[in-house]
Each structure stands twice: as structure tokens, then as C-alpha cells.
Amino acid sequence: MTLPRVVLVTGTGTGVGKTVVTAAIAARARAAGRSVAVVKPVQTGGSGAEPTDVAEVCRLAAPASAVELVRLPEPLAPRAAARRAGVRLPPLSGHARRIVDLAAGHDLVLVEGAGGLLVRLDEDGGTLADLGRLLLAAQTPVGVLVVVAAGLGTLNHAELTVEALRRRGLSVLGLVIGAWPAEPGIAEQENLGDLPLLIGVPLLGVLPDGAARLSPDAFTRAAGEGLAPLLGGDRH
């Protein structure tokens, strides 16, 4: 698959593996000689001992550029975190301009959302989907990758997310399972076939649970194996 210049990485919720999938795409694209930028429009929970999403991507994939546009200390939804911090979230239009500028200087820009697709990212209620529409209006090629869980509940969550994207005129590249268990049960095994069949978009990859604990070299190899359908055209 040939990826568009900008890929929005969203998920069916929090904790499904958006960051590890973003890092995996960045690592493989970088290994193929492509210049990669990673953008986190809003990072919450950025004051504790745990690394931020961008820091984790940098550790695993070392992209050419990595940018947090907004960082808020408490691990809450962006508007709640901003309210408690006594600040106002900037409008998505400014984020879109930064991403367009990055796209002009990089082969691939990965934009990782916060939580699920319709989490509010600015004071006007703008979402990652709205950011995608702003990028389209700026004539920037953009597609959306949806990261999903492996087990029960994922079919409904995935279908709702893909339906919302389609209603907004955004191109859905496909689905990626962000954490495949070492011992999958019946639900996980059945979902491998049901996800693309019922949702109507391809399943483009499966990353093993715990992939983020690998060394960067081992992570890049695991990314190549897990995302082969997505990045086949990017591999040497």
C-alpha cells in the first residue's frame, strides 16, 4: 500500500495501541529511507514519570521530527485537562497549519490522536476527524488508520469509528490490531476474519502485545512482520 503524505492514527478508545502502531509505522518507514515526522496534537498526562507518547515513539523509531503541539499535566480528556490546568486549547486550524508545514518537508507525517476519534481537541469541540477535514481543505493528501483491540467489543467499536469517518468524507486506510495476545482466545481468533468482513475495510496489521518493551532494532523487525500488508511497498 502507498501511504498518503499524512496519516492520522486514531483508535477505538484509550489503551488500544495507537502509540505503538504509530512507532511501528515510523520505524519501518525510516528503515526504508523515508523522512518521518510524528505529531501529537494534544498530549495529556505529561508531567509524571511515564514517558509521553511522542517520547515513546522517539525511543522506538527515532523519527526525523517529533512534535507535541499541546501538553497538559493530568491524564484526562483534553478539554478537562485544559480546564483543570487553567488554559485554553488552541484551535485546530493552527494544528493543521503546522502539519501542512511538516508535510512539505517530510515524506510521511504521522498524527496520533488522543483517545478515540471524536475526543474534543479544542475549545470549539473540534476532533481528530475535523483536523482531517481541515487538512483535506488545504489539499494535503490524508488517510486514517484505525487501531483496534483484539477481543470482545472490538467489532462494534471499530464499525462505529469507521462509520463516523466515512460520514465525514475521510479515507479509511484500514485497521490494525494494536496488541495481539500471546495466547489468543476464540474471540480474538474469530475477530481476525470478522473485522475486515464486517467492517468493510482491510485488516492491515497485527502487532504483538508487549512490542513496546522490545529494543528498537527488535521492534523494527516486529513492525515489519506485523505490518507487512500495510508497509509492503515501503520495505527494502
- Catalytic residue annotation: 40
C-alpha cell at 1: 500500500
Answer yes or no: are the C-beta atoms of 141 and 38 closer than 8 Å: no
The cell for 84 is 483543570
Determine how many CB atoms are found less than 10 A away from the CB of residue 88. 11
Angle at the Cα of 41 (from 44 to 58), degrees rounded to 5?
80
Residues in contact with 67: Cβ distance below 8 Å, sequence separation at least 6, in sequence order: 37, 38, 39, 40, 54, 98, 102
| Residues 235, 198 contacting (CB under 8 angstroms) | no
